[in-house]
């Protein structure tokens, strides 16, 4: 189901950018629709894409894990028996992101990791069951091995 949703979203995105041009008027853009799309459906689609709410949703930048956690856990967190726990975790994430802009971006020390603690081995919170930490975060072991090779080449240069 997730794949179907992604394909549908990508198709709508491609259709909009293929047929819609900013330089044309709304009426001209209505005329430039693909065959097989009814005029009233195309008009509704263009009106939806022109709304400010829709433009705000599509910001063009990646969303941080802290924000993603808040969005995806709203219902679950509302059912927590201790309401203060829900408020504390949401406020803590928001406050950390306000204080430090770099904590918004995906890293092992982002706002979500600071509030909820260190990641468990083999999984990454708020990203589903698929990715593991070495896929999401830069592998520090790989970085260290690269610096070891640089040291060897520098030693070789000094010995010559």
- Report CA-CA distances (Å) from 64 to 83, 113, 116: 24, 11, 15
Segment 53-85, tens digit of pLDDT: 776 666 666 666 677 776 666 665 555 544 545
Instruction: Extract the tokens encoding 14.
Output: 């491609």
pTM of the model: 0.37
Segment 95-135, tens digit of pLDDT: 666 666 665 566 666 666 666 677 767 777 666 666 776 76
Segment 41-52, tens digit of pLDDT: 999 998 988 887
Interatomic CA distance for residues 69 and 79, integer angstroms: 15
**Domain range list for the chain:** 2-57, 65-136
Segment 19-45, tens digit of pLDDT: 888 888 888 988 888 888 888 999 999
């Amino acid at each position: 189901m997730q794949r179907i949703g992604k394909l549908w979203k990508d198709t709508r995105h491609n259709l909009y950018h293929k047929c819609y041009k900013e330089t044309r008027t709304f009426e001209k853009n209505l005329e430039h629709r693909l065959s097989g799309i009814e005029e009233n459906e195309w008009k509704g689609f263009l009106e939806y894409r022109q709304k400010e709410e829709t433009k705000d949703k599509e910001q063009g930048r990646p969303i941080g894990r802290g924000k993603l956690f808040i969005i995806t856990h709203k219902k679950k967190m509302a059912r927590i028996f201790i309401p203060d726990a829900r408020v504390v975790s949401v406020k803590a994430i928001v406050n950390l992101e306000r204080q430090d802009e770099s904590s918004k971006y995906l890293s092992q020390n982002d706002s979500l990791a600071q509030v909820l603690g260190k990641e468990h081995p083999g999984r990454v919170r708020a990203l589903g069951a698929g990715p593991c930490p070495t896929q999401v975060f830069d592998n520090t072991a790989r970085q260290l091995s690269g610096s070891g090779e640089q040291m060897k080449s520098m030693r070789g240069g000094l010995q010559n």
